Amino acid sequence: MRKNYRGAIEYCVIGLGRFGFALSVALAQAGKEVLVLDNDEEKVKAVSRYVDNALIVKHMDKDSLEEAGVQNCHTVVVCIGEQIEVSVLTTLNVIELGVPRVISKAVSADHGSVLKKIGAEVVYPEKDMAVRLAKSFMKTRAMEYIDLNEEISIEEHRITGKICGQTLAAANLRKRFGMNAIAIVKGEKTIIEVDPTILLEEGNAIVTIGTKDNHARFQGYLYAD
């Protein structure tokens, strides 16, 4: 665990909730160098198994972010959704440090509106996925998706008989397909507190984050004869 990072780095993830953790792991698995910041020592230790640069930063003020080396990053993703004031202030501090691309997670339309006004791109990964672009089944059976970059995406897959009746832990998507589940969709309900013991039921959907190649591999498995 390094104390700071002075060289140029492609990605920085701030906040290790479910989305931030999954994004950090997916970027690392895609061979990207990623700097990860959080104020929780246990979360930083956990993600350090996957990324080379994970730092404990207790306060996301401009001086602390600069000391961590955030100004050297090309893209910063602020994943502090639930603490709206902290999310906005952190995003503003990152923008003022001159980072070329800043993406922030929002948990409501009002939250997203504020983030956009201060200059951030906005994603809603844990709300209703309304901002996702539909693939319309033209090239894949994945239902909907968000491109995070050329290699990493969040995709929604319909659960088929291949994993129907299994728990999420038994399906073991991380080990078998290099992906992390971040939500389960049951009809009109989206479950974002994804428990490993949750039962995967046919006709529902699972939302995952990972590389596009791994998503394609997962789709091939779901629909193989």
DSSP 124-156: -TTTT-TTSEE-TTSS-S--EEEESSSSEEEEE
pLDDT of residue 225: 57
Give the pLDDT score at 52.
87
Residue 213 lies in a domain: yes
Within-domain flag for 217: yes
CB-based contacts of 136: which residues, under 8 Å, 6+ apart? none
**Domain match, 114 and 176 both:** no
From 123, 156, 176, give the residue that closes a domain. Answer: 123
Taking CA atoms, 149 is separated from 1, 117, 195, in Å, by: 26, 22, 27
Same domain? For 26 and 114 the reply is yes
Residue 189 near residue 146 (C-beta atoms within 8 A): no
pLDDT of residue 149: 73
74 with 146, same domain: the answer is no
Tell whether 67 and 141 lie within a shared domain: no
Specify the higher pLDDT residue, 152 or 137.
Answer: 152
Under the banding of pLDDT at 50, 70 and 90, the label for residue 194 is confident
- Is the same domain home to 117 and 140? no
pLDDT above 90 as % of the chain:
44
Check whether residue 103 and residue 150 sit in a common domain: no
pLDDT at 115: 95
Could you tell me the residue range of the domain that residue 113 belongs to?
A: 9-123
User: Is residue 143 within 8 Å of residue 215, measured between CB atoms?
Assistant: no
Work out the burial of residue 149: count CB atoms within 10 Å of its CB; fewer than 13 is exposed, 13-18 middle, 19 or more buried.
Answer: middle
- 1 within a domain of the structure (yes/no): no
Query: Could you tell me if 80 and 166 lie in one domain?
Result: no
The helices-and-strands tally (H runs, E runs) of the chain is 8, 12
Between residues 124 and 175, which one has the greater pLDDT?
175
- 28 is a domain residue: yes
Do residues 92 and 54 touch, judged by C-beta distance below 8 A?
no
Please give the pLDDT value at position 65.
96
The CATH number of the domain where 156 resides is what?
Answer: 3.30.70.1450
Of all helices (H) and strands (E), which one includes residue 159? Answer: none
Residue 7: predicted pLDDT = 57
pLDDT digits (tens, 9 = 90+) for 44-78: 999 998 898 999 999 999 999 999 999 999 999 99
Q: What does the pLDDT read at residue 82? A: 77
C-alpha span between 191 and 193 (Å, rounded): 6
Region 158-175: mean pLDDT is: 91
16, 17, 23, 29: CA torsion to nearest 10 = 60
Residue from 197, 148, 194, 163 nearest 27 by CA: 148
Does residue 45 sit in the same domain as residue 115? yes
- DSSP state letters, 59-71: ---HHHHHHHTGG
- Is the pLDDT at 117 greater than 60, yes or no? yes
The verdict on residue 2 lying in a domain is no
Q: Specify whether 29 is located in the same domain as 94.
A: yes
At which of 123, 157, 181 does a domain end?
123
Q: How confident is the model at residue 141 (pLDDT cuts 50, 70, 90)?
A: very low
HSE-CB at 210 with a 13 A cutoff on CA atoms is 23
Asked if residue 89 and residue 186 are part of one domain, the reply reads: no
- Is residue 61 in some structural domain? yes
Distance of CA 1 to the CA centre of its chain: 21
Q: β-pairing, 101-105 with 121-123?
A: parallel
The better pLDDT of the pair 48, 145 is held by 48
Residue where a domain terminates, one of 64, 93, 123: 123
Residue 216, both tokens: 């394609």
Q: Do 137 and 119 fall within a single domain? A: no
pLDDT band at 127 (very low <50, low <70, confident <90, very high): low
